[in-house]
Amino acid sequence: MIFVGWFVCWIILSCIGIIGVYRAGRSIERWLPSMSLFYFVLVSTGVLVTSYVTAVRLVGVEEAECEELDPSADKLLGSTPSEFRQRCIATQNDFESINLRKL
């Protein structure tokens, strides 16, 4: 479900950005016709990348939690299962020992 939300968000942001680029590009085309193609290609690419990054940050990415015994590869975010287990073991919080040390 996160993929659908992310994709819809990316499409909406891309459309808004491309419409803005088109409107600005039309005014640039009137004054500097030789620069219009360069502007459209460069800024449209930037809009697509920016909308992708914004959509990922708005919707978020589903990550595996340490309580899961066998997380799917999608949730591992590029790490291997053994790296994931090592990270979970390394970041475990032992609240009782922390509280005892404070006394």
pLDDT per position as a tens digit, 36-63: 888 999 999 999 999 999 988 888 766 6
Task: Quote the pLDDT of residue 50.
Answer: 93
Nearest to 61 by CA among 48, 78, 86: 78
Sole residue written with tokens 């819809």: 8
- Please report, for the chain, the start and end positions of each structural domain, with discontinuous segments joined by +: 2-59, 73-102
Strand, coil or helix: what is 79?
coil
Q: Write down the pLDDT at residue 7.
A: 87
Residues of the chain with pLDDT under 50: none
Cα 95 from Cα 68, distance rounded (Å):
20
The pLDDT of residue 13 is 92
Tell me the two tokens of residue 42: 């460069």
pTM tops 0.85, yes or no: no
